[in-house]
């Protein structure tokens, strides 16, 4: 796994389509179209999982895509909590948000230290 492995235009196209899925899911959430919003969790998460798997050879992309997975889980948990649990799942959503944030911090700190060691 490297930080500089090529990232294909196909993966970028998948990411762009993934944004469409995510926007549809969030629009359904906003409009309180519960069944459609819940259904859209599945393709949104599956696409993100596929993109993450495809990025496994590029450390930077992999860490960022895992954080996106955590973001989708947090976002979906929050939505389900609003729909069915009087907004009572925010603590679980927070754990997913925090996990993604910690992962990104870990990547950037370790990457910074790695580059610092190379330059010394």
SS3 108: helix
Each residue's pLDDT tens digit, 37-70: 999 999 999 999 999 999 999 999 999 999 999 9
Using CB atoms within 10 A of its CB, is residue 6 exposed (0-12), middle (13-18) or buried (19+)? exposed
Which pLDDT value is given to residue 43? 96
Contact 93, 78 (CB under 8 A): yes
Q: What is the pTM of this model?
A: 0.88
Mean pLDDT of the chain: 92
Contact 14, 50 (CB under 8 A): yes
Contact 97, 70 (CB under 8 A): yes
From start to end of 1-117, where are the E strands?
none
Checking if the pLDDT of 107 tops 80, the result is yes
Question: By mean pLDDT, which of 4-13, 14-23, 61-70, 91-100 is the weakest?
Answer: 4-13
């Amino acid at each position: 796994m490297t930080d500089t492995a090529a990232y294909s235009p196909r993966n970028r196209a998948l990411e762009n389509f993934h944004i469409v899925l995510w926007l549809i899911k969030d629009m359904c959430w906003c409009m309180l179209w519960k069944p459609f919003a819940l259904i859209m969790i599945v393709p949104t998460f599956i696409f993100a999982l596929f993109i993450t798997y495809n990025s496994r050879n590029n450390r930077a992309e992999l860490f960022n895509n895992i954080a996106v997975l955590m973001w989708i889980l947090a976002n979906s948990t929050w939505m389900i909590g609003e729909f069915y649990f009087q907004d009572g799942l925010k603590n679980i959503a927070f754990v997913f948000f925090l996990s993604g944030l910690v992962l990104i911090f870990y990547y950037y700190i370790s990457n910074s230290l790695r580059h610092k060691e190379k330059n010394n």
